[in-house]
Amino acid sequence: MKFLDQARVYIRSGNGGAGCLSFRREKFIEFGGPDGGDGGRGGDVIVECVGGLNTLIDYRYQQHFKAKTGTHGMGQNRSGGKGADAILKVPAGTQIFDEEGEQLIADLTEIGQRVTLARGGNGGFGNAHFKTATNQAPRRVNPGQEGEERTIWLRLKLIADAGLVGLPNAGKSTFLSIVSAARPKIADYPFTTLHPQLGVVACDGREFVLADIPGLIEGAHDGVGLGDRFLGHVERCRVLLHLVDANTEHAGKAYKTVRRELEAYGEGLADKPEIVALSKIDSVDAETLKQQALRLKRAAKRTPLKISAATNVNVREALRAVLAEIDAADAQQEAAVAPAAEWAP
């Protein structure tokens, strides 16, 4: 299945059904009077967050969704039924924006969440509704109200506990394939990863979700390479694992390049807790490894982990560091929520 994280969709709710113009005609009843029923309400357009989806690929092939018109009213005071709703099913983490893509309408992060984007029009009144003491045989009915129409943007931001960032060929996909059951494409050329990958990682009896995104290069925020659009998939992460290739020309400069792109992107990515690791340490000699570690330490202002996914060196230590940061983020969030809960009525 192809990965699609953004889609433009046109939606329209159903028109209301028209009221009915009808009079009661029965044998032996001389003055039957009006008996036209009201029209039914038009269907709504609803977006629902469901499980089992991790892409918006369905909206590549269908971009127009219209709810059904309400049933028209009928004689014998029979009201029309409500039109069928149009339900758009999206994966968890989907955001809904207006046509300009600036105003956030809804953010669906939990399975089962539903939001109504366009309400169906009300049904029209039948002539029985207009009967009065001075107007015993009204011939007036109302048409149903028209439905609403609008264009929206669906944007998917994957929900993961931790995210992998780094330059292309930093070993992110290899790391993800070693620590989880995910099977991303791995090759010895840049931009092997063309779309985000998710993997469930088990460590010390616990599990967390790790996201791998395509590599960043200098100028990614201006659209260079694959750009920085995929950084949206690590916005929800609580910690970033920054991998720097030990084979790179200068580990410190490689680290700063990615950091500049995170800062240029914004959305708080540069402020997230970060674990820095020097990857592929099995592919360089001891002297080069020492020099690269010192360069990275000066740039990151912390001692980096030295890992090798291929030989499983210090991989477990990196996962434990990620878990520690996740626990710290959870504790901080609980501490922030606790005072508000105490003051709640």
Distance CA 72, CA 19 (A): 6
On whether 283 is known to bind a ligand per the annotation, the reply is no
Distance CA 289, CA 305 (A): 12
Single out the residue of 238, 241, 283, 279 nearest to residue 258, CA to CA. 241
Distance CA 72, CA 125 (A): 10
Q: What is the pLDDT of residues 20-71, one digit of tens each?
A: 999 988 888 777 889 999 999 999 999 999 988 888 988 988 999 999 999 9
Burial 291-322 (b: 16+ CB within 10 A, else e): ebbebbbebbeeebbbbbbbeeebbeebbebb
On whether 257 is known to bind a ligand per the annotation, the reply is no
Give the model's pLDDT for residue 2: 63
Q: What angle do CA 320, 326, 329 make, to 5 degrees?
A: 145
On whether 167 is known to bind a ligand per the annotation, the reply is yes
On whether 253 is known to bind a ligand per the annotation, the reply is no
Q: What tokens appear for 113 in the block?
A: 């969440």
Q: What tokens appear for 131 in the block?
A: 């009967």
On whether 242 is known to bind a ligand per the annotation, the reply is no
On whether 270 is known to bind a ligand per the annotation, the reply is no
Whether 283 shows a pLDDT value over 70: the answer reads yes
On whether 162 is known to bind a ligand per the annotation, the reply is no
On whether 281 is known to bind a ligand per the annotation, the reply is yes
Q: What tokens appear for 206 in the block?
A: 């616990």
For 273-284, what is the mean pLDDT? 90
On whether 123 is known to bind a ligand per the annotation, the reply is no
> Which fold does the domain 162-341 belong to in CATH?
Rossmann fold (3.40.50)
On whether 170 is known to bind a ligand per the annotation, the reply is yes
On whether 27 is known to bind a ligand per the annotation, the reply is no
On whether 169 is known to bind a ligand per the annotation, the reply is yes
On whether 318 is known to bind a ligand per the annotation, the reply is no
Give the SS3 label for residue 324: helix
In contact, 241 and 165? CB cutoff 8 Å: yes
On whether 111 is known to bind a ligand per the annotation, the reply is no
Q: What is the pLDDT of residues 159-182, one digit of tens each?
A: 888 989 988 888 888 888 888 887
SS3 track for 41-54: CCCCEEEEECCCCC
On whether 130 is known to bind a ligand per the annotation, the reply is no
Q: What is the pLDDT of residues 184-210, one digit of tens each?
A: 777 666 666 677 888 888 888 888 888
On whether 7 is known to bind a ligand per the annotation, the reply is no
On whether 211 is known to bind a ligand per the annotation, the reply is no
In contact, 242 and 267? CB cutoff 8 Å: no
On whether 172 is known to bind a ligand per the annotation, the reply is yes
On whether 280 is known to bind a ligand per the annotation, the reply is yes
Place of tokens 């967050």: 49
Q: Which residues contact 286 (CB under 8 A, 6 or more apart)?
A: none
Q: What tokens appear for 310 in the block?
A: 């291929």
On whether 193 is known to bind a ligand per the annotation, the reply is yes
Single out the residue of 144, 13, 149 nearest to residue 72, CA to CA. 144
On whether 135 is known to bind a ligand per the annotation, the reply is no
On whether 121 is known to bind a ligand per the annotation, the reply is no
> Which fold does the domain 1-156 belong to in CATH?
Spo0b-associated Gtp-binding Protein; Chain: A, (2.70.210)
For 6-12, what is the mean pLDDT? 94
Q: What is the DSSP letter of 216?
A: P
pTM recorded for the entire structure? 0.78
In angstroms, the Cα distances linking 52 to 56, 89, 90, 141 are 12, 10, 10, 47
In angstroms, the Cα distances linking 281 to 34, 174, 244 are 87, 13, 10
What residues does each domain of the chain span?
Answer: 1-156, 162-341
On whether 288 is known to bind a ligand per the annotation, the reply is no
Of residues 84 and 336, which shows the higher confidence score?
Answer: 84
On whether 55 is known to bind a ligand per the annotation, the reply is no
Count, residues in the chain: 345
